[in-house]
Structure formats: C-alpha cells, structure tokens
A and B are shown apart, each in its own frame.
Chain A
C-alpha cells in the first residue's frame, strides 16, 4: 500500500454544525394537524361516554377544567407542530445520517452509516392519503426503530432507503 500523509482540511472532519438539512414535505404538517384533530375528536367522544356512564362526574368542577385542559393542549400542539415543522429536517452525508425536530425541546440525532443494521419504509393511513412515508433506521440493540425520518414523499423514502442500503453494502465490502 502506498504511503500518503495529506493535510486534512477542517472541512473534511465530520461536524454536526453547519449541516444542510432538507426540509420535510409541507403536506406533513397537514398530516400532523389532521392527526391532532382526529385525536381531539376521539378524546371528546370517549369523554362523552365516560361522563354519560359515570353520572356523579357530571359536575362543572370536573367538566370545565378538563375541557380547558383539552383546549389548551390542542392549541399548544397546533402551534408546536407548526414551529417544530419549520425546524425539522434531515441530512444524508457520505458517512452519517442526521435528523432534527422539536419545538420547545429541539433534538438533533446522528447515526453513522457503519452503525446501521437495516432500514425500513412505512406509511400510515393519513400519510398514504397525502403521498407521504417515514424511513426508520435500526441500529444494534434497539428493538424498535428509534431513528425515523418522517414527512418525506413515498418516492423519496424509497430513494433514501435504497441509498442507505447501497452505502451499507459499500461499507461491508
């Protein structure tokens, strides 16, 4: 093997800063809001049933605070989804994959390619309707996917999965 000793520029060292993140699809925000509305409706229906059955709970002192809590949570979630969406994004680099998300608490997660065990693509009913999918990346020791890129088109999700699989094969050769 030929010996070489080239300068390594600081740009060549991996860094978690100054990464260009691709934004999520706009329809993902729509999907989140639809899920939120459905969730609130479900809570209202269940609440009605419970209060209808348990008559002694039908007092203003219980109902009004719960309704207020529901409204406040729903509003905060609505706002939070919007802010979080603006911050969220993913980045694919030759050696690693990054994903960031969050509103009040912002998280950036990075997984090196050589730690990826396998990748899968999935899509819930609302996501499918809007042409969206999620890419789940599995590393060792995790029983369930703990690194998921959400809010990408189905075509893009497949491309990401294929790209990662190609990188994995290259890493093992």
Chain B
C-alpha cells in the first residue's frame, strides 16, 4: 500500500497535545453544568469558614486527579496503520488494542468544535461496515494530518458502487446555501421546540433558585400579579410574546449555527457534506449505507419550496437526534435528483398512488381521540365544571386531522422498492429499496382479520417503515415479492 508523502502512518503516534486541553475543557464544561448551583452558593455566601476551605480543597484535589487522568489517557492513546489495518492502542490499567480493517471503513468524518478551531486541530470519526454507531474517534490531530488520514483511509474505496451508471444530471453537482437560504431555513424552523425547551428551562430555574436562595419564584409571580390587578391579562400577554420572540430568536440562531456554510458535493461514492459555524463538520454519506431516504417540509417550508432530506443509515435509531444527517435543499427538484442516488425509479404522481383503507382514520379517532377526550373531561370537570365541555372540540379537530392524513397518504411499489407520500399540514416523501429490507412483519388485528386488511412493517438496518391498513391480498403480494427479490438475488444490502 502506498504511503502518502507527508506523514508516516505506520509508526504508532499520539494525538496532538491539544487533545489534553480539549478533554480538560470538555470536563470543566460538564462539571460546571452539573455543579453550578453549589458553586454559586459557595461564591456568594458571606462567611468563608472551615467548610468553605474544605470545599476548596476538594475542588483542588478533584482537579489534580482530573488533569492526571487526562494526561495518562493522552499518553497511552496511540494509533497507526499496519498491514491494511488501523490499530488503536489505549488504556493504562486495562490495555485495549482495537484492530479495524481499512476495507471495512465506510466513511470518515472530520469535525472541529470551537476549541478545536482555536487550537487548529480536528477530530476524526470513522464508520465501519455493519456498525450501529461511530466506532472510532480520534479527538485531536492537526487539520492537515486529519485530511491526510482521511484520504488514506478512503483510498481503499475507489471502486464504483452499483449505481455508478446513474445518468449524470445536467444540473451542477453542488448544493450550497446562501445567506438568504439560511434565513429562510431559520425562519421556517420548528420554533415550538425552542419554546418548550425555554419553558422547561424556566421551570427548572425557578426550582433551582428556590433550592439555592430559598426564594419561592411562584410566590413572587403571584404577588406581582396581585399588584398589577386589572392588568394581569396584559402582563401575561406581554410575557408570552416575549417568550415567543426569544424562542424564535434562539431557534433561528441554532439553525444558522447548524447550517452555516452548508455545502453538498455529489460524488460517485457518496455525498460529501460541509456544514457548521461553531462546530464545523465534514461528513461523508456513502450511498450504499443509506437504508431509508425521506424528505419533508412543514407547512411554511412547503410554501417556500424548502425541504429537509433525512438520511437513515445503518444504526440510525441508536443515534441521538443531533447526530442524524439532515440535508437542507431549496427546491423539491433537488431532493428528487439527490434521491436518485438511492432509488432510480422516478417519483410517482400523487394521483397515481394507491390509498390506504379509510377504516384507519375512523379507528384512530375511536381508539385514540375518544378515550383521551373522555379522560380529560373526567379530570377537568372537577376543576372547571361545565367549561370543560370545550374539550369536546377535540373531537371535530382530530376528525379533521385524521381524515386529512388518510386522504393525503399515498403509496406505490415499483421494481426497486416502495415510495410513500404523507402529511397533514406538511408533506413527507419516503423511499425504501427492497434490497435494504432485513425483516418483514405482517400484522392483523381482530378488526383487520374480519375485513381482509393487514399492516406491513419493513425493518432495515436504519429503522423501519410502516404501511398500514392495506388489503390483505396486497400485503401478501408485497411480502412475497420482497422475499423473492431478497432471496433470489442474494444482493448485498450494503
């Protein structure tokens, strides 16, 4: 195997010294997040007595131990390449040696958080075939070394994937987000999530303030409400508006930070994604690792023709949401073009798709909305009396919601796989290729049995896709077709 010119990867080497600083900084941040109430109490208390000095000694002792552990961890962490394997040695009390064949490395991601950018280092994360999560992470090596290592590790996968003969598209092979696009994304983001996070943080803060300073925040709010009697509604409205504005701003800032300088390169092996402001990421999504592909837009984003492609690759379900790969595209056409790397069959037209059975929306109403409405009526009747009858409005609202969801759901099978289209306010397209399927489950409730209906669940290495309430015969045909496809071709699913 050819070695690159710059670095000798066959010699065991350590990470950059910056790794010590980064690990320490991460530990400090974690400590502050957990112990900030105790720290505030200590620093603002008026009497600095023996207890305070003991506390200082404990902090000092803990810090010394942490620094020593970090240095030891750094000193005993080495990596090199030998005999087409990446070998990583770690641990000082319990030594571990991890051997990863280079051939099994599917993707190499580079990441730089704010500390790494300041120290001019990057972390290297590796995905290997069949793994559920990122297996290996090298925390801090110089940026040029990281790039060199990435090129070396990926040089084993120069062979074209199966769909390499996909027609090259007349459009350019780059997706790039301008500042205007970034503004559109951030304005149309899910601000409700930020609102609820802020709300929960506010509640936690009131709780913490009560514990630390012995101040009952709710009592303070109540006393204030009494003082401004007659203007309570105005005060509440102003507070809600302020919280809403702050939520929107926070949500926008988070989106901008996440997608700043977003760029996608559509290569033969996979997509290369560059994104991030504070934490800069270089991600590689090999096409063969994609298990399920979908793209969606909420109501506002549909109007702006702005979509988010969600890539469900191996181990998707075990990842945290911030680890998911989401690709913003500014036109539906771009989403369709990119999706052809996964499934070449053109997207079906809405009117040509098959519908699911109408029984589903009626049964969702009967078994979800009715019990919830009754329970809420029962609970709130003792509090609000006849005013509780407003809860009955849930029934027509949810009827409309489920009915619209049923009307908008379409599906179609083709030679390659299945395509689905769904949504009430927003819209979602889901593609699943037959060869990605690991298991199929056919489910029939008592009602479905008596009405010749069934539901199918397709399990893949990156999650599952459900097709609910279709005719039983269709379910059998689809299952039989999948079995024939998977068993007769013996094609690799990855």
Interface residues of A, Cβ cutoff 8 Å to B: 13-17, 95-96, 104-115, 117, 139-143, 146-147, 171
In the complex, what residue of chain A is closest to B475 when comparing beta carbons?
Answer: A16
**Contact partners of A109 in chain B: CB under 8 A:** 439-442
Interface of B, helix, strand, loop or mixed by DSSP: mixed
**Contact partners of B314 in chain A: CB under 8 A:** 140-141
A168 to B493, CA, bound (A): 15
**Contact partners of A117 in chain B: CB under 8 A:** 130
A106 & B444 in contact (Cβ 8 Å cutoff): yes
Among A16, A96, A111, find the residue whose CB has the most chain B CB atoms closer than 10 A: A16
A16 & B442 in contact (Cβ 8 Å cutoff): yes
A104 & B480 in contact (Cβ 8 Å cutoff): no
Which residues 399-442 of B have a CB within 8 angstroms of A? 437-442
B14 interfacial by beta-carbon distance below 8 Å: no
A142 to B490, CA, bound (A): 20
Q: How far is the CB of A114 from chain B (nearest CB, A)?
A: 6
**Contact partners of B442 in chain A: CB under 8 A:** 16, 107-109
A147 & B439 in contact (Cβ 8 Å cutoff): yes
**Contact partners of A115 in chain B: CB under 8 A:** 437-439, 486, 493
B50 interfacial by beta-carbon distance below 8 Å: no
Beyond A105-B443, A107-B443, A115-B486: 6 further Cβ-contacts under 8 Å? A15-B483, A107-B442, A107-B444, A110-B441, A117-B130, A141-B314
Q: Which segment of B157-165, B173-181, B382-390, B454-462 sits at the interface?
A: B454-462
Q: How far is the CB of B465 from chain A (nearest CB, A)?
A: 13
A139 to B476, CA, bound (A): 22
Q: How far is the CB of A100 from chain B (nearest CB, A)?
A: 9
B265 interfacial by beta-carbon distance below 8 Å: no
B291 interfacial by beta-carbon distance below 8 Å: yes
A17 & B476 in contact (Cβ 8 Å cutoff): yes
A interface footprint on B317-349 (CB within 8 Å = 1, 0 otherwise): 110000000000000000000000000000000
A111 & B444 in contact (Cβ 8 Å cutoff): no
A14 & B483 in contact (Cβ 8 Å cutoff): yes
A112 & B483 in contact (Cβ 8 Å cutoff): yes
B487 & A95 in contact (Cβ 8 Å cutoff): yes
A147 to B438, CA, bound (A): 11
In the complex, what residue of chain B is closest to A113 when comparing beta carbons?
Answer: B487
With A140-B314, A141-B291, A141-B461: A111-B439 Cβ-Cβ less than 8 Å: yes
**Contact partners of A107 in chain B: CB under 8 A:** 441-444
B490 & A171 in contact (Cβ 8 Å cutoff): yes
A143 & B490 in contact (Cβ 8 Å cutoff): no
A interface footprint on B284-301 (CB within 8 Å = 1, 0 otherwise): 000000010000000000
B446 interfacial by beta-carbon distance below 8 Å: yes
26 A/B residue pairs, CB under 8 Å, sorted by A: A13-B484, A14-B483, A14-B487, A16-B479, A95-B483, A105-B444, A106-B449, A107-B443, A109-B442, A110-B441, A114-B490, A115-B437, A115-B438, A115-B486, A115-B493, A117-B130, A139-B439, A139-B459, A140-B130, A140-B461, A140-B493, A141-B316, A141-B461, A141-B463, A142-B438, A143-B132
A16 to B446, CA, bound (A): 19
With A14-B480, A110-B483, A140-B461: A104-B440 Cβ-Cβ less than 8 Å: no
Which residues 125-167 of B have a CB within 8 angstroms of A? 130, 132
A112 & B487 in contact (Cβ 8 Å cutoff): yes
B471 interfacial by beta-carbon distance below 8 Å: no
A106 to B445, CA, bound (A): 6
With A106-B444, A114-B490: A140-B438 Cβ-Cβ less than 8 Å: yes
Q: How far is the CB of B345 from chain A (nearest CB, A)?
A: 22
**Candidates A110, A139, A147, A171; contact of B479 at CB < 8 Å:** A110
B270 interfacial by beta-carbon distance below 8 Å: no
Q: How far is the CB of A147 from chain B (nearest CB, A)?
A: 6
B443 & A106 in contact (Cβ 8 Å cutoff): yes
B101 interfacial by beta-carbon distance below 8 Å: no
